[in-house]
Amino acid sequence: MTTTQARTEPDDAPGTDPHAGTPGAHGSGHGPHGYSAQKDAHLKRLRRIEGQIRGLQRMVDEDVYCIDVLTQVSASTKALQSFALSLLEEHLRHCVAAAAEQGGVELDAKVAEASAAIGRLLRS
Amino acid sequence: MTTTQARTEPDDAPGTDPHAGTPGAHGSGHGPHGYSAQKDAHLKRLRRIEGQIRGLQRMVDEDVYCIDVLTQVSASTKALQSFALSLLEEHLRHCVAAAAEQGGVELDAKVAEASAAIGRLLRS
Amino acid sequence: MTTTQARTEPDDAPGTDPHAGTPGAHGSGHGPHGYSAQKDAHLKRLRRIEGQIRGLQRMVDEDVYCIDVLTQVSASTKALQSFALSLLEEHLRHCVAAAAEQGGVELDAKVAEASAAIGRLLRS
Amino acid sequence: MTTTQARTEPDDAPGTDPHAGTPGAHGSGHGPHGYSAQKDAHLKRLRRIEGQIRGLQRMVDEDVYCIDVLTQVSASTKALQSFALSLLEEHLRHCVAAAAEQGGVELDAKVAEASAAIGRLLRS
């Protein structure tokens, strides 16, 4: 199964990056949102999930038995949830903790926001 | 709709590359597993999900705010689950129904298999 | 941190069961909907889940540490999903299989109904 | 951090409480874990869920159509998840925020613990 993912194109149009002006700021791994430190790990995970989705296309294309396709869907969903969880953990560690230092309204807003995100994950 | 399951055609996959220049080989949509009739719809869904996963990579790459990334993860998970559900519905309609005609052991096996797949989806 | 969980009171007063006095009303166990054969097993499972929910009330009441409460919530949710799955499996084996013998519209309706139920479980 | 939660009122209408007879066992109600402020709300939710589980027993007992039972299971699961979410939100607001003030190892431990709990919820 080739999940090659060759990428010859220039990376993701930095010109359209809202954070542009500091393109070098990524990669260095100290982004503004906590998760940048582990950016490479996140991207690697997501590329693997992309490979799984491509694998699903091949399976459907080749008339693989539905139950086997479903097993692979479960694996992909699990991988996505696991990615979400690691993102969330970083968010709690950095953003929510930072808000806690400010306390009050700021903290309440961050916690409500994180809880809403967890609620969406639970329902998906 | 005939759930005949007859497979007189040579098995897809003479070449190794699924997508290699034989688009007409599939598309005919009369595969052995029930879901082939909707193969195009399935592939379209999966391509959209693949696009969502790539979108996630861009978001991470551009240091988009974690909560917004999580919202997109929820959307992708939901899309995957919805794909699984449509696959499962076809499976029940064709494979399980076909097994029901044979009854007994065959039906029990198919139902147990489908239930196990549903269980995996619930836990993912 | 007190995770005491001390339980000095007699457990859940079995004598107060609202269904108590009418045991003979059920028990026949051969209902019209497939799952009756396993009715006793189902009721036993549900009673255990009810006990878990009561346990949750005690935990909250005794200020047990939130994470421990959450662990118990996860166990109860899992037990509910597992109950749902066994119910669904019986439904497929009996109702959907019966519909398959009639075929056509009847089968389509039953499969659509079962799929919708599975969808609700996935989203809950 | 003060999560005082003083509770001077008599606990939970002991007259209607099925667990009555031991009202004094709890009642102090000013626990260390953040969620006590909303203890009454939590207990009310849980009692409603307990009622739903009893309703499920009645449905099974009366041979209600499986799909309708499954719909009720979905509702109960949703209610449990919603309860978990409100508990988690309080936990983040109080315990995790308190840990954030201490920072370092303490915060890391709390965040890892909360993330593990969220992971269990996602998988249940």
- If one compares B25 and A108, the residue with the highest pLDDT of the two is A108
Euclidean distance between CA atoms B49 and B78, whole angstroms: 10
Euclidean distance between CA atoms B47 and B43, whole angstroms: 6
Kindly tell me if the per-residue pLDDT of B47 is higher than 70. yes
Q: Which of B89, B114, B119 sits opposite C92 (nearest CB)?
A: B114
Kindly tell me if the per-residue pLDDT of A23 is higher than 80. no
Residue A37, pLDDT score: 63
Kindly tell me if the per-residue pLDDT of B103 is higher than 80. no
- Chain D interface includes B19 (CB < 8 A): no
B92 and C85: CB-CB below 8 Å? no
D117 and C50: CB-CB below 8 Å? no
Residue C58, pLDDT score: 98
Kindly tell me if the per-residue pLDDT of A20 is higher than 90. no
Residue of D nearest to B119 (CA): D124
- Chain A interface includes C19 (CB < 8 A): no
Distance from CA of C36 to the nearest CA of D (A): 7
Taking only the tens place, the pLDDT of each residue in C86-119 is 999 999 988 888 888 887 888 889 999 999 999 9
**pLDDT tier at B35 (50, 70, 90 boundaries)?**
low
Distance from CA of C105 to the nearest CA of D (A): 18
Token pair recorded at residue C7: 């339980």
Residue of B nearest to C122 (CA): B122
ipTM of predicted assembly, 2 dp: 0.72
Residue pair B122/C122 in contact (Cβ under 8 Å)? The answer is yes
Q: Which of D89, D97, D112 sits opposite A115 (nearest CB)?
A: D89
Best residue in A77, A86, A95 for a mutation probing chain B (most B CBs within 10 Å): A77
Environment class of C93 (CB within 10 Å of its CB; exposed 0-12, middle 13-18, buried 19+): buried
Kindly tell me if the per-residue pLDDT of D27 is higher than 70. no
Compute the C-alpha angle B96/B98/B100, nearest 5°.
Answer: 70
Residue C52, pLDDT score: 98
Q: What is the DSSP string of A15-57?
A: GG-TTTT-GGGTTTT--TTSGGGGHHHHHHHHHHHHHHHHHHH
- Chain A interface includes D115 (CB < 8 A): yes
- Chain A interface includes D70 (CB < 8 A): no
Residue B28, pLDDT score: 37
- Chain B interface includes A117 (CB < 8 A): yes
Kindly tell me if the per-residue pLDDT of C13 is higher than 70. no
| pTM for this model (two decimals) | 0.74
Residue B37, pLDDT score: 63
Summary mean pLDDT of chain C: 77
Residue pair B95/A66 in contact (Cβ under 8 Å)? The answer is yes
Residue C36, pLDDT score: 57
Residue D58: count other Cβ atoms within 10 Å of its Cβ: 14
Amino acid making up residue A7: R
- D124 to chain B: which residues are within 8 Å by CB? 123
Q: Which of B39, B74, B87 sits opposite A70 (nearest CB)?
A: B87
Summary mean pLDDT of chain D: 77
**pLDDT tier at C21 (50, 70, 90 boundaries)?**
very low
Residue of B nearest to A27 (CA): B61
Amino acid making up residue C50: E
Label residues B13-34 b or e (16+ Cβ within 10 Å = b). Answer: eeeeebeeeeeebbeeeebbbb
Residue B15, pLDDT score: 36
pLDDT (mean) for B90-105? 86
- If one compares A53 and C37, the residue with the highest pLDDT of the two is A53
Q: Which of C84, C107, C123 sits opposite B93 (nearest CB)?
A: C107
Environment class of B54 (CB within 10 Å of its CB; exposed 0-12, middle 13-18, buried 19+): middle
- D84 to chain A: which residues are within 8 Å by CB? 122
For chain C, percent of residues with pLDDT exceeding 90: 55
Residue B27, pLDDT score: 35
Distance from CA of D101 to the nearest CA of A (A): 6
For chain C, percent of residues with pLDDT exceeding 70: 70
Kindly tell me if the per-residue pLDDT of B42 is higher than 50. yes
The mean-pLDDT minimum among A47-61, B30-44, C8-22 falls in: C8-22
Label residues A34-54 b or e (16+ Cβ within 10 Å = b). Answer: bbbebbeebeebbbebbbbbb
pLDDT (mean) for D62-75? 96
Residue of C nearest to B114 (CA): C89
Taking only the tens place, the pLDDT of each residue in B54-71 is 999 999 999 999 999 999
**pLDDT tier at B124 (50, 70, 90 boundaries)?**
confident
Residue B36, pLDDT score: 57
Residue B44, pLDDT score: 96
pLDDT (mean) for A98-112? 86
- C74 to chain B: which residues are within 8 Å by CB? none
- Chain D interface includes B123 (CB < 8 A): yes
**pLDDT tier at A36 (50, 70, 90 boundaries)?**
low
Euclidean distance between CA atoms A33 and B65, whole angstroms: 6
Taking only the tens place, the pLDDT of each residue in B2-32 is 333 333 333 333 333 333 333 333 333 344 5
Best residue in D87, D95, D96 for a mutation probing chain A (most A CBs within 10 Å): D96
- B79 to chain C: which residues are within 8 Å by CB? none
Q: Pick from A23-27, B91-95, D71-75 the range whose average pLDDT is largest.
A: D71-75
CA A101 vs CA B42, D93, D97: distances in Å:
48, 12, 8
- A103 to chain D: which residues are within 8 Å by CB? 97
Residue pair B100/C100 in contact (Cβ under 8 Å)? The answer is yes
The mean-pLDDT minimum among A29-38, B56-65, B74-83, B108-117 falls in: A29-38
Euclidean distance between CA atoms D1 and B36, whole angstroms: 60
If you search the block for the tokens 């009893």, which residue do you land on?
A: D54
Residue pair B95/B110 in contact (Cβ under 8 Å)? The answer is yes
- C46 to chain D: which residues are within 8 Å by CB? 53, 56-57, 60
**pLDDT tier at D36 (50, 70, 90 boundaries)?**
low
- Torsion-angle region of D11 (φ positive above 0: left; ψ -120 to 50: alpha; else: beta): beta
Euclidean distance between CA atoms D109 and D118, whole angstroms: 14
- If one compares A96 and A39, the residue with the highest pLDDT of the two is A39
B62 and A12: CB-CB below 8 Å? yes
